[in-house]
A and B are shown apart, each in its own frame.
Chain A
C-alpha cells in the first residue's frame, strides 16, 4: 500500500465496492483478490500496463465476464453481475474500446436499443426518440445528425452516442475503457469536458487508461493494477508521474531495453513501397481512401515504426503489402529493388514477406491445435515429401521453435489457445521465421502481453533486426515506438504526415503529427495540396 489512510471518512456509501475479485482464464490468473472502491461523482482513473487486468476487472463489474470470484456492492447492495442486464439494473454501463453500436441503425435507434419508445403496442415512436436523443446529446456537444446511421459518424461522435446510450438508462456508474485511443486532440478535450460535467452531476466514472497525461489531468483518484493485483490508490493531490510508473511497471523503465542503434538510413532498402492506396469501402467526403500516398523504404536491419491514431490506416498499410486487399488497393512494392506483384498472402510469402497480425487469436493461430500444428502451417510443404507430412520433422520444427524463442509450454503438442499472450506472440513470430523472410511486418506486437514478455519481444525484435531482417512495426504505445524504431512514419487519416529520425522522436511531436488538424511535414504537405 502506498500512503496512509485519510481521516476524512465520508459517511456516504461508495457507489461501487468490489471485494476480493479473482478471475482466471484457463491456467492464467488475471485477477487476484482485487478490491476496488468508487464514490459517487468522482472520476477514478484505473491504470496499469497491458494485461494488468484493468479491463477484466471492469468487465466483471459490467456483467460481461462471468463466472468470477468475489463480491460486488452497488450503493451498499449486493449484486451478482452475471449478465450485462444485471449491471444495467444496478446502474452500471461500460463503454468498451471497441464501440458496441449497431452501425446500420440511426443514432436515436442505437441510444434506445432494447428500450424503444413505443407509441402503442410495438410501434416505435421515432419522433419522440429523436427528440429525447437530442435532449441527451445536446449537452454532450454532439454535432452529427440524429436520424443517420452511426456508421457515418466519426469515432469521437460515436463515442458520445455510447455515452448518451448509457445516460438514458439511468446510469450512475460509467466505465470507459481507453476512450481516447481513436480520438484527435480536440475530440479528447471535448470528451474530458463531458466527463467532468457528468461527474459534477453525480455520475461515478471509471476511466481506464495507460496514458499518464490524461490520467493526471482528469482523475480525482488513481488506482493502479499490476499483474492482476491492486498495487495501490492515491488521490489527485498525491499522484505524480514517477510514482504511478513505478507502481505500474514495478521497476524503473530504463532497464528494459537498450541497443546501440547503427545508422541505417544510408543503406539500400530491402523493402520499398510507393504510393500505396486502399479504397474506403464506405467512402466519405473527408475520407475517400483508407490509405493514400504511403511510401517508405526499409533497409536490412532497420526497424521502421508506424505511428498514428486508431483508424489512421496503419494496419491497412501492412495488409496491402501482404497482399490482403487485392482488387481494392494498389501501389508499388519492391523487394531488393525488384518489383513484385502481391495478389495474396501466397505471393507475399514467396516474396519473403511475413505478417504478424494485431489479433493473434483471431488471425494468427489455430487455437485448438497444438504448437506443432501451428508452427508448420506456413512451411508445411517443406517438411512433407509428396504430400505426406513427416511427424518427426514436424516435432523437430516445433521443438526448435520453442527453444529458439524461449516459449514456455508443456511440450510441442500443447494447444496454442492455452498459451499465455506473450508465448502466443512468440509462436506467431516463430512460425514465420521458418519461411526465412526478408521483411517482417508486425502489427501491435505487444498488445495484451505482460511486462516481462514485452521486454522479451523487444529483445527479439532487436535480435531479428541485427540478423538482417527489415522490420516494419505498428504500435499505439509511444514508449515502444520511440524505443525500438530507427525511424517513425506517422499516419493521419490514411495519409503520411511525417517521417521522423531518431533524434526527432518525442511523444508530443508524434501526437501532433498524428492528430487531425495538426501540422504536417513540408514534404508530405505538398502531396495533400496537390490532391
Chain B
C-alpha cells in the first residue's frame, strides 16, 4: 500500500511538467469567457488552432535551442537568424533577377550542398560498416572521394537550379530550400568560432546576433525596410500554402513545428548523434577523451539551430505577409524560456524534446488565456516572468533548499534549531584517546 503510494508520488513528481500544463489548461477552460452562442471560447477549435499557430515559430526555434542547450551551450543569434530568414525569403519571393538576397542564397546553397554531401557520405559509409571497432572511426578514402565528388556535382546542380529560379521568382519550394541553407551556414559559422576558436557560445552568438541583424538590414536595402509579400500579385500563389489551415484546423506552421519536434525528439532519443549531444552536455571533456568528434558535433548542433531559426523566418513571412529585419526581436529569449520551462538544464546534459514541447505549449496557452481575459500586455510580461521562475524552481527540485535558505535568513519562520552541544563533553578517565 505504502509502496504503491510512493510509486504514485514518484510518478507524479516525474510528470509534474505535464500536470503543470494540465492545470494551466483547466485554468484556461474555467477562466475563459463564453461567446454569444454560450460556447467556451478557449475550447473553440479555432482558438486551439490559433494557439498552435502562434507558438509554432517560437517552437521551431526552441527545438534547435534545445539541442544547443543540451550540449551546454546557448544560441543568442536565433532571433536575428529568423529576421534574416524572413528578409531573404521575402526578397526571393518578390524580386526578380540578381538581388542581394539571391546573390547570398546561390553561393550559400552551393556551399551547403557540397559540404553536407562531402561530410555525410563518408559518415554514412562508417555507419554502414557496423561491427569491428577498428574501422568505425575512420571512413575509407574511397568513401571520402565519393562524398567530395557527389558534393561537387550537387553543388553545380544547385547553382544551375537556383539560377533558373531567379529568372522568374522563387516559389515556395525555392525559399524552403534556399533560406534554411542560409541559416545553416551562419549557424555553422557560430559553431566554428565556438569550437575552433575556443570561444564562449554566449559571446560568439551575441556577436553574431548583432552582425546578422546588420546583414539582414543591409540586404533589405534600408534600416527598417519592410518587404510586403502578396501572393498572387507580387509573389507566386503557391506561397500561400505556408499559411493555410489543413482540414480547417491544422495550421501549416504548426505542422512544421510538430514535425521538427518529432524528428529531433527521435534523433535525441535513439541516434548516436543524440547520445553524443547528451554526453557532451554531461561532460564534454569525457566525451572528447572517449574519442568523440566533439567539435564536429557542436558545429552541427549550431548549424541545425540556425537552420530551424531561418525556417521560422520563412513561416513568419508567410504568416505576416512581409519580411522585415526586426521580425525576430526577442525570439531568442522566448525560445530559451520555453526550453528552460521544459526542464532542460542550462548547464547541459539533462532535458528532452518532449519537455520543450510542453514548455512551448505552456508559454502559448498562458499568453492565450491572458489575451482572452483582456489582460494588459505589460501585466502579461510580468506573469510570464513569474511562470519562468516558478517552473524552473519546480523543475530543479530545489524548492526545499530554497525554503531552508530563506529560513536561515529569517530564522523566526518556524525553524527548529539542530541540537548541538555547547561545551565539550567531560572526559572520563580511560575513554580519552591515548596521547
Contacts and interface: CB of A to CB of B under 8 A. Distances in A.
Interface stretch (A379-387, A459-467, A488-496): A379-387
Contact of B279 (A363, A377, A435): A377
Contacts of B291: 345-346, 348-350, 378, 435
Interface stretch (A111-119, A300-308, A364-372, A515-523): A364-372
B386 interface: no
Contact of A436 (B133, B138, B425): B133
* Most central of B131, B270, B291, B350 by chain A CB within 10 Å: B291
B435 interface: yes
* Most central of A77, A349, A431 by chain B CB within 10 Å: A349
B262 interface: no
A436 B290 contact: no
17 contacts: A3-B434, A6-B435, A9-B435, A71-B421, A78-B420, A78-B422, A346-B292, A350-B137, A357-B289, A367-B282, A369-B279, A373-B278, A377-B292, A378-B290, A381-B130, A384-B271, A391-B270
A376 B292 CA distance: 11
A436 to B, nearest CB: 5
Contacts of B423: 73, 76-78
A378 B425 CA distance: 55
* Most central of A80, A230, A374 by chain B CB within 10 Å: A374
Contacts of B282: 366-369
B287 A350 contact: no
Given A71-B421, A382-B130, A388-B270, A363 B434 contact: no
A98 to B, nearest CB: 17
* Most central of B126, B287, B290, B430 by chain A CB within 10 Å: B290
Contacts of A4: 434
A366 B433 contact: no
Given A35-B433, A366-B278, 4 more contacts: A345-B290, A366-B349, A384-B271, A385-B130
Given A348-B291, A388-B270, A366 B279 contact: yes
Contacts of A35: 433
Contacts of B137: 346, 349-350, 381
Contacts of B134: 350, 352, 436
A384 B272 contact: yes
A173 interface: no
Contacts of B415: none
B161 to A, nearest CB: 28
B19 interface: no
Interface of B: 124, 126-128, 130-134, 136-138, 270-273, 275-276, 278-279, 282-283, 285-293, 349-350, 420-425, 429-430, 432-435
Contacts of B133: 379, 382, 434-436
A382 B434 CA distance: 61
A99 B430 CA distance: 40
B285 A362 contact: yes
A66 to B, nearest CB: 12
A367 B432 contact: no
A348 B290 CA distance: 10
Nearest to B295: A344
Given A376-B275, A380-B275, A9 B127 contact: no
* Most central of B349, B421, B434 by chain A CB within 10 Å: B434
Contacts of B349: 366, 368-369
B286 A377 contact: yes
Contacts of A43: none
A76 B426 CA distance: 11
A334 interface: no
Given A366-B283, A377-B279, A381-B272, A19 B290 contact: no
B228 to A, nearest CB: 43
A263 B339 CA distance: 60
A389 interface: yes
Given A78-B420, A350-B134, A381-B137, A363 B285 contact: yes
A229 interface: no
Nearest to A437: B133
A136 B347 CA distance: 43
A363 B286 contact: yes
A39 B270 CA distance: 61
Contact of B434 (A5, A76, A349, A366): A5
* Most central of B136, B283, B293, B349 by chain A CB within 10 Å: B283
A171 interface: no
A234 interface: yes
Nearest to A390: B270
* Most central of B124, B132, B270 by chain A CB within 10 Å: B270
Contacts of A73: 423-424
A368 B281 CA distance: 10
A59 interface: no
B279 A373 contact: yes
B327 to A, nearest CB: 34
Interface string A1-45: 111111011000000010100000000000000010101000000
B272 A380 contact: yes
A500 interface: no
